[in-house]
């Protein structure tokens, strides 16, 4: 699968946290949480550079990226693989920035990272392989988080 469907866009709009994986200049992995990931088009994701100096620097050297967004209660989500471009001071930047401002994001945004998605994989917990139903998984994890 390589198209960002309406279902995936809706999922991304509901989930407020994803993880972006890049490779640093010395070849070591770097993972960074992002709360601004959304589907921009049928084959592009975006996220905002709010506090992402390492992520942006890594992408300037090596644009390959993986993004993982999982529903913490359902234990399912998506893994996106692609290549990233840093967008600043363009009409596209302004269009995406406007979207973030309409969503209530007030933080300074240094740049927008536009990801051309090459591959999308569904991610599910092994619990589903054991025949456990989605409602039961959600109930278990909801109880876990409420007890914290």
Q: What's the pLDDT tens digit per position in 80-131?
A: 999 999 999 899 999 999 999 999 999 999 999 999 999 999 999 999 999 9
Q: Is the pLDDT of residue 1 over 80?
A: no
Please tell me the pTM assigned to this model: 0.93
**Is 67:80 a contact under the CB 8 Å cutoff?**
yes
Q: Does domain 6-146 have CATH number 2.30.110.10?
A: yes
Q: What percentage of the chain's residues is helix, strand, coil (to nearest 5)? A: 30, 40, 30
**Is 85:113 a contact under the CB 8 Å cutoff?**
yes
- Percent pLDDT > 70 in the chain is 99
């Amino acid at each position: 699968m390589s198209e960002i469907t309406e279902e995936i866009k809706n999922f991304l709009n509901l989930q407020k946290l994803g993880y972006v994986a890049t490779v640093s200049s010395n070849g070591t992995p770097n993972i960074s949480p992002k709360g601004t990931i959304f589907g921009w088009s049928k084959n592009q994701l975006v996220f905002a550079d709010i506090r992402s100096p390492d992520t942006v620097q890594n992408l300037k050297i090596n644009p390959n990226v993986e993004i993982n967004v999982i529903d913490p209660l359902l234990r399912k989500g998506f893994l996106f693989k692609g290549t990233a471009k840093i967008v600043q001071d363009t009409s596209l930047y302004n269009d995406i920035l406007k979207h973030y401002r309409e969503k209530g994001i007030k933080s300074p945004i240094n740049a927008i990272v536009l990801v051309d998605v090459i591959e999308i994989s569904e991610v599910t917990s092994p619990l589903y392989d054991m025949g456990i139903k989605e409602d039961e998984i959600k109930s278990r994890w909801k109880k876990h988080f409420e007890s914290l």
